[in-house]
């Protein structure tokens, strides 16, 4: 971070941690149902320790560190099973863990956790930690998808905290989560309320059975819409995605594949039909763009990595002065935006 002559930060160094979740071989044993709880606890702890190592490395070059959506577990929303709701029981433990990590490495840390709010009420929640380990604020995911193998409505209650930037020592963070990135209204409100950057912890990928052309269309659409939010609001955007193949654990066919093949990233054996291994191939491509949508940094689609970027916060005003979209909005004619549909 660098300060200008008014004592305000004008440059912000950030790090996006793009990770893969890898299962251990216990899951594929015939007795897994009797050991499911210990399996989940062990895998969650292993992921947390790996993420902590990455945060330690990232802290050498950044004061704002961003993690992907639901980073302590596999993406369990590929099926609707109440056993995965048990993950939410670890919410307070995870908050305590990442609070200590933020303090130890002196970073502002954006996490994405499964929150148990009450019996039967659970949220997909971003918890932001200040550099001293205190909680700067929370955001609960507002838009909840229900698509094939993205069955989040089964698990998550829609958020009720609104679109409110979170004040931190490095700026006002407009934290949203994954599916929120397809809705321009969320980005607009966060920006209008004074966010310095839009941040999207994400878990998005494609199915191997789809064509390469479809993969390309999906990836480009995902990036373009977020760069569009940057342009329309004159604000930097950071999007942090998972990477690697994660099986649909409810599919029995997946148990017949060798463990080494199950855990590979973009390396499924040619002798196995893609259609017989059901799951999501998270395509990475985490990126940071500036307030004109210009790409500042971009990650790969096939490996774990820490992506660094330096953001010039003073460019927000400079860009909005030459592209005054906020000034020229015609709010008196936007009543239809509050309707489900208007013909």
- Among candidate residues 63, 116, 138, 141, the one labeled active-site is 141
Nearest-angstrom CA–CA distance, 9 and 16: 20
**Would you call 49 a catalytic residue per the annotation?**
no
DSSP string, 184-203: HHHHHHHHHTT-SEEEEE--
What is the DSSP pairing of strand 279-283 with strand 243-247? antiparallel
Residue 197 near residue 242, CB atoms below 8 Å: no
Residue 268 near residue 208, CB atoms below 8 Å: yes
| Total residue length of the chain | 343
**Would you call 141 a catalytic residue per the annotation?**
yes
DSSP string, 4-16: -TTS-EEEEEEEE
- Among candidate residues 178, 223, 246, 304, the one labeled active-site is 178
What three-state secondary structure class fits 50? helix
Write the CB contacts of 258 (distance below 8 Å, at least 6 apart in sequence): none
Nearest-angstrom CA–CA distance, 257 and 269: 10
- Among candidate residues 19, 48, 63, 69, the one labeled active-site is 69
Residue 246 near residue 47, CB atoms below 8 Å: no
Q: Starting from the edge strand earliest in sequence, which strands make up the sheet with 166-168, in order?
A: 166-168, 171-175, 197-201, 237-240, 287-289, 295-298
Across the chain, the runs of DSSP E, i.e. the strands, are 2-3, 9-18, 64-67, 108-118, 121-129, 135-140, 146-147, 150-151, 166-168, 171-175, 197-201, 205-206, 237-240, 243-247, 279-283, 287-289, 295-298, 305-312
Give me the active site residues, please. Answer: 69, 141, 178
């Amino acid at each position: 971070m660098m300060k200008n002559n008014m004592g305000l930060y004008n440059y912000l160094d950030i790090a996006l941690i793009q990770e893969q979740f890898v299962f251990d071989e216990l899951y594929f044993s015939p007795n897994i149902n009797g050991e499911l709880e210990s399996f989940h606890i062990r895998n969650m702890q292993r992921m947390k320790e790996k993420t902590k190592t990455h945060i330690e490395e990232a802290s050498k070059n950044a004061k704002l560190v961003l993690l992907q959506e639901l980073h302590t577990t596999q993406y369990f929303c590929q099926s609707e099973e109440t056993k995965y709701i048990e993950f939410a029981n670890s919410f307070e433990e995870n908050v305590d863990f990442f609070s200590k990590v933020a303090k130890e490495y002196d970073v502002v840390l954006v996490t994405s956790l499964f929150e148990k709010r009450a019996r039967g009420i659970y949220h997909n929640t971003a918890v932001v930690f200040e550099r001293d380990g205190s909680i700067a604020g929370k955001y609960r995911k507002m838009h909840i998808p229900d698509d094939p193998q993205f069955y989040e409505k089964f698990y998550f209650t829609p958020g009720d905290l609104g679109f409110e930037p979170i004040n931190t020592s490095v700026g006002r963070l407009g934290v949203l989560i994954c599916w929120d990135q397809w809705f321009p209204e969320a980005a607009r409100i966060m920006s209008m309320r004074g966010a310095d950057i839009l941040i999207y912890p994400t878990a998005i990928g494609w199915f191997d059975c789809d064509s390469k052309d479809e993969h390309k269309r999906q990836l480009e659409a995902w990036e373009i819409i977020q760069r569009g939010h940057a342009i329309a609001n004159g604000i930097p955007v950071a999007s942090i995605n998972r990477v690697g193949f994660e099986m649909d654990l409810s599919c029995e066919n997946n148990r017949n594949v060798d463990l080494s093949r199950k855990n590979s990233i973009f390396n499924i054996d040619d002798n196995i039909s893609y259609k017989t291994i059901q799951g999501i191939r998270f395509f990475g491509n985490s990126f940071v763009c500036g307030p004109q949508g210009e790409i500042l940094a971009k990650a790969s689609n096939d490996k774990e990595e820490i992506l660094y970027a330096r953001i010039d916060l003073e460019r927000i005003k400079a860009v909005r002065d030459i592209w005054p979209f906020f000034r020229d909005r015609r709010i008196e004619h936007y009543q239809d935006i509050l309707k489900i549909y208007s013909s």
